[in-house]
Structure 1
Amino acid sequence: LQGLMDKTGITAKDIDVVDMFVIALCSIFQGSPVLIVNCSLLSPTPSLCALLVNKFGMRSDVLTYNLSGMGCSANGVSIDLAQRVLQNPKNMKCVVISTESIAQAIYPGNERGFLVQNTLFRCGATAILLTNKPDTRAKYKLLNVVRAQLSKGDDDYGCVWEAEDKEGYKGVFLAKNIVDVAGKTMTVNFKRLVPRILPIPELLKVAFNKKYVPSFKKGINHFCIHAGGRAVLEGVQKNLKLSDRDILPSKLSLYHMGNTSSSSIWYELGFTERSGDLKAGHRILQVAFGSGFKCNSMVWLCLRN
């Protein structure tokens, strides 16, 4: 443990600070608190939600939801669940925690399809506080959540797969067609998303010309595309006609953090905030891809500079 702290620069004091932050976060709950945790590969009994309730002494009426096996797009599922739970009653608060444990998925074998995940995935975590209570301190307002899942076809269903290789070594298999499957799933998602975010003139161009690719920058100011890998980012950039600056937060997240699974889109939003370009009234599009195969998109309105 000390060797790990030496490598990362994290001290026991830093861990205490994190604990105190979560305790403070839990203490702000008023009314009926809600806790949602998503972690794809680690699903213990009792759940991670139960672990947090126990560790931080949360109230007995807390509503907990523990999501597993949802892959890198799980945060979109969690936000969608939070949105539905917060529809009523009023004055509720919900904390969404997205993380991933990759320790038990480290692959010691030699099959190439399994080896990619050893070099690509990294640990990460985010915590997001949402409420249905009007609050001037809020940074963002959730405008849209759109989910698409293609599990009917075997190629789509099996392009990301936790399994054993021929020698019995366990790992996460990534198929060669994953970029194509991601593009296909994103197309299905965006067919439902586009009418909600683009102005009428742009929608008319799409209606009269089926081959026309709409300009998403006419309805979106900032883009946070899941940092699943360089090929995925370059494919999305090309298909959506995004500039290098538009895709920069995603590339920075991939370069500095690696693929942090479901939390990556929030690391990207962090890079966007630090760029100084995010202003009140701007709209942010988060797009996440995950096993299943799923594509989830969320649109947020920035409420303050």
Structure 2
Amino acid sequence: MSTETEVVQRVEDYFRKKHWKTRREVRLRGRMADIMLVKGKDIAVVEVKGLKGNVEKGIMQALHYKSAVNFSYLAINKEAATRKIKETCKNLGIGLIVVNGGIKEIIKPQRTPALQSVQERIFETKTETQEKDVELKSMLDVILRTKSQILILKLLFLNPTKEFHLSDIARKTDLTTPAVSKELSNLLRINLVTRREQGNLIFYRINKDSIIFDEMKRIFLKYEMFSELVTEQLSKEKDIRYALIYGSFAKGIEKEGSDIDLLVIGDVKEDYLLKTIPKIEKEVGREINFVLWTEKEFREKAKKKTPLVREIVDNPVIMIVGDEDGFKRAAKERSG
């Protein structure tokens, strides 16, 4: 049995022998990564949980980093590596390292493309603006294994209080019943959906108690539902400084039919949003209430501590463009 500090040291030694350069406590996507690894052009992150660490929270953290770097690992004591933990890591493409008397990589991580913004920061390079749309395309493709899973989760995430039986899901996603059955089995294995029997029918719904629910929801909203808004905006060389979802959807307390509240800050024409937002509303089946501020308006409102600024700064948000820590820090600094 090892403390978190001991696990960190052993993991660093393990990767150094494999010629990785190691750094501790690096801020990444608004959170502090325990270990960052760099070898050549590859970037990896290791989330470490010691004897008393919350392993399920560790999986959620590793998943958070997975969409930003090439490889994401979870390192834990051997005693904590239950069958459920192993299956979850394997299905999510997260590497699993166990530490006991020695150290062993028992599950290899899935390789994913690192975000351009992360590469620029780590390697201190710059990428042309037109190339940035690559990182804004659906990262769900590298987290989930098939397009069918994405279609099913899209239906379930947007209807978190509803149950669906197999034929319902097949009809609404335009998938075959056998395909839906297969993908639901995979999603049940990672505990992202629940299953309930009633007579001859079996009902499924999204599992809001899943350890990865919050993170998957954030990734889903950011990359699957709002990718059109961001990629089109970049292709027209406009400047979105920040874009984020706030309110009930970000807090996880939305009800059936709740609106999605969207704040956009930057040099963006309102006509563009008025044309683009209806396309997204049609896609997600919910009304989107957007607020558009220039950076100057944002600074002024932050300085005055308006109710909306206070509401956004003091509560969870889902960032679509920009860094959450940077946004909230800017709002607080300008409010004095």
Q: TM-score, normalised to structure 1's length?
A: 0.31
Which protein shows a greater Rg? 2
Q: Which has the higher contact order (CA 8 A, sep 6+)?
A: 1
Q: TM-score, normalised by structure 2?
A: 0.29
